[in-house]
Amino acid sequence: MQAKLSTMFQSLQVRNYRLFASGQLIKMIGVWMMFIAQDWLVLQLSDDSATALGFVTALQFAPVLLLTLISGRLADRYDKRLLLFVANVFWTVLAFGMSLLVLTGLVELWHVFVFAALLGVANAVETPVRQAFVSELVGTSLLPNALSLNAAVFNSARIVGPAVAGLAIAVVDVGPVFLFTAVSSLAPLANVVRMRPVELHREALLPVGERDSARVVDGLRYVARRPDLLLPMAVMSVIGMSLFNFQLTLAALAKTVFKTGAASFGLFSTALAVGALVGALAGTGRRSRPSVWVVLGAAIGCAVFGTLVGVVPAYWMVVTLLLPAGFFMVFFAQAANQRVQLGTDAAFRGRVMALWVLVFLGTNPVGAPLIGWVAETFGAGASIWIGGLISLATALIALAWQLRRSGARLRLRILPMPRFYVVSPE
């Protein structure tokens, strides 16, 4: 067990990564608390409008569509550590400003819209840089482990944040939750300053002269020539748009279908995050690039359980199904992320990861308003199971395409345990 745990958390032996991960954990707990508080505040200010909630989600992710590719270019040209610091300063100023509006009672719905859009700008700059920065923190050999630990940090925060936020909103209202988010965002700022630049792994980057001429279009052409990168990105773009909207759909499901309060809504998010954390930890032992079959199998599992979440009629059944849904959601996203990162040359990693973030998060502005409308018109459950069926169809089409392209065959083994497996051509 000690050896297993040592392997699972191996990247934490690197000081720079340890600082990075601890700062992100503190910040993300606050961010997830803020997400819950923001959704609850929008519902309060809009008379429980799922459409308004979808609009806020769209505003929060719309800058990803506009700025992420530019951010990837910046990541390949400039010091990622400095870019992270600047982006987090912007985030911190925004968080303190929003908390002041909420605490003073001056907040209006349009304030939340503006805050969500500006927050999206900070995310559009910070996320691709942060994704690409991980390889500089730990090097290529520890990159799969570090990426899985990143997902574990993210989902640990998603367990703690919503649960604490639900209770905090019930006891002290949303204002103090926004203030805690602002204070927690100081942690990554302090830890970025404390990192040792000489210990970063930067030897595989382009020379300074070539780095200055790095263009967005070169990154797009690089991906276009790589079917092994295109497939996981294409599948993620559809699933991200149609199913990865639980921030919106679970809030509407809790409030409009099951008529529950903030604490019960937090339990939905916590159940999803517990499964997601297990999914993230399941990938920490991976030391090589995951196969396309692992990615597609996880996508199918994610779609199946996501569909079931929207179909079942009882509150406790939703909570139960959110556990495997969360597991496969993160296991799929992390396997796809690792397949993209470990298949990308270091010189293009910033631009490729910017494109990955674009398909992972940038599809939300397209899907969120539509999903909000479906939830308001046909019910929150329908907005989930429809997205699940679209995701399932996409994953099965991608599987069929990959089987045909590779000449492999899918087989079913009954004993000792029923499972599908792939037979490669001779």
| Residue range 366-389, pLDDT digits in tens | 777 788 788 888 888 888 999 999
CA distances from 294 to 187, 202, 394, 408, 417 (A): 35, 30, 15, 14, 18
Region 337-356 average pLDDT: 82
| pTM assigned to the model | 0.73
Using pLDDT thresholds of 50, 70 and 90, give the confidence band for residue 27: very high
> Tell me, what's the pLDDT at 307?
94
Residue 363: is its pLDDT beyond 80? no
> Tell me, what's the pLDDT at 362?
63
Region 282-308 average pLDDT: 87
> Tell me, what's the pLDDT at 74?
80
> Tell me, what's the pLDDT at 338?
85
pLDDT > 70: what percent of the chain? 90
Using pLDDT thresholds of 50, 70 and 90, give the confidence band for residue 263: low
| Residue range 125-171, pLDDT digits in tens | 888 888 888 888 888 778 888 888 887 887 778 777 877 887 888 88
Residue 54: is its pLDDT beyond 80? no
More confident site: 97 or 244: 97
> Tell me, what's the pLDDT at 322?
92
199 secondary structure, DSSP code: G
Least reliable range by pLDDT among 2-6, 123-127, 406-410, 416-420: 2-6
Using pLDDT thresholds of 50, 70 and 90, give the confidence band for residue 306: very high
Region 255-274 average pLDDT: 75
Q: Where are the alpha helices (DSSP H) in 46-173?
A: 50-77, 80-103, 109-138, 143-172
Region 34-50 average pLDDT: 83
d(CA 120, CA 57): 9
What is 30-49 written as a DSSP string? HHHHHHHHHHHHHHHHTTS-
Mean per-residue pLDDT of the chain: 83
d(CA 27, CA 25): 6
Give the amino acid at 28: M
Using pLDDT thresholds of 50, 70 and 90, give the confidence band for residue 281: confident
> Tell me, what's the pLDDT at 231?
93
State which H helix or E strand residue 412 sits in: strand 409-413
Region 285-294 average pLDDT: 82
Residue 393: is its pLDDT beyond 70? yes
| Residue range 72-88, pLDDT digits in tens | 778 777 788 898 899 89
Region 40-68 average pLDDT: 79
More confident site: 327 or 125: 327
Using pLDDT thresholds of 50, 70 and 90, give the confidence band for residue 17: very high
| Residue range 98-125, pLDDT digits in tens | 999 989 888 888 898 998 899 888 888 8
> Tell me, what's the pLDDT at 261?
66
Long-range contact pairs involving 372-377 (C-beta distance under 8 Å, separation at least 24):
372/50, 372/51, 372/52, 372/53, 372/54, 372/55, 372/57, 372/248, 372/252, 373/50, 373/51, 373/54, 375/50, 375/54, 375/248, 375/249, 375/252, 375/256, 376/49, 376/50, 376/51, 376/252
| Residue range 173-215, pLDDT digits in tens | 888 889 998 999 999 999 999 998 888 887 555 454 455 556 6
Interhelix angle 15-45/143-172, rounded to 10 degrees, is 40
